[in-house]
């Protein structure tokens, strides 16, 4: 094995994979949550007061947010620079929406809130790292 064939993983690449997988899972849960809210599923709390809107409007918010979160995951895995910032923005909006959706399903909202914090950490700290080794290998000569 030559020295050039041996590559070490870029620092924080595990966090980016983790953030992408968790973002995909959170987006999928948002889609399921949104569809359930739109179709009046019976597992939500009944007769709850929301600060803004009702169960149907929050269902649409979570459905759209979930679909966008799933789409941005592929950009994160491809290391697209725009995907880091779009991912952070979508997860931040999801954080706020989860807090406002707390009366409907408190445990799920709190669990997704905690997961969203980890995703923001992974994207903010390690999302913009570029390995010096990779930059040197792209230069001609």
Please write the tens of the pLDDT for every residue from 21-42. Answer: 999 999 999 999 899 989 887 7
> Is 75 contained in some domain?
yes
Domain that holds residue 113: 13-42+53-128
The answer to whether position 73 is within a domain reads: yes
How much is the pLDDT for 127? Answer: 74
Instruction: Please count the structural domains in the chain.
Output: 1
Residue 114 lies in a domain: yes
At 81 the pLDDT is: 86
In a domain, 121, yes or no: yes
Give a yes or no: residue 133 inside a domain.
no
In a domain, 61, yes or no: yes
Distance between CA atoms of 51 and 68, rounded to whole angstroms?
Answer: 24
Residue 69 in any domain: the answer is yes
Distance in angstroms (rounded) separating the CA atoms of residues 111 and 16: 20
Q: Which two tokens stand for residue 132?
A: 């010096």
- Other beta carbons within 10 Å of 50: 14
Instruction: Say which DSSP state 52 is in.
Output: S
Q: Is residue 110 part of a domain?
A: yes
**pLDDT at residue 75, rounded to an integer:** 92
Mean pLDDT by 10 residues, the chain (141 residues): 60 82 92 89 76 86 95 91 92 91 84 90 77 46 48
Which of 17, 14, 11 lies closest to 78, judged by CA?
A: 17
Q: Is the pTM of this model over 0.75?
A: yes
Residue 43 pLDDT? 75
């Amino acid at each position: 094995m030559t020295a050039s064939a041996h590559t070490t993983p870029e620092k924080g690449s595990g966090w980016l994979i983790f953030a992408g997988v968790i973002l995909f899972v959170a987006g999928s849960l948002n889609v399921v949550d949104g569809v359930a809210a739109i179709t009046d599923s019976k597992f939500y709390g009944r007769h709850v007061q929301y600060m803004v809107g009702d169960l149907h409007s929050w269902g649409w918010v979570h459905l759209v947010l979930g679909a966008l979160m799933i789409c941005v995951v592929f950009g994160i895995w491809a290391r697209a620079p725009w995907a880091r910032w779009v991912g952070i923005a979508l997860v931040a909006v999801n954080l706020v929406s989860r807090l406002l959706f707390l009366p409907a399903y408190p445990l799920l909202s709190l669990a997704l809130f905690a997961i969203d914090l980890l995703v923001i950490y992974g994207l903010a700290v390690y999302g913009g790292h570029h390995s010096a080794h990779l930059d040197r290998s792209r230069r001609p000569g």
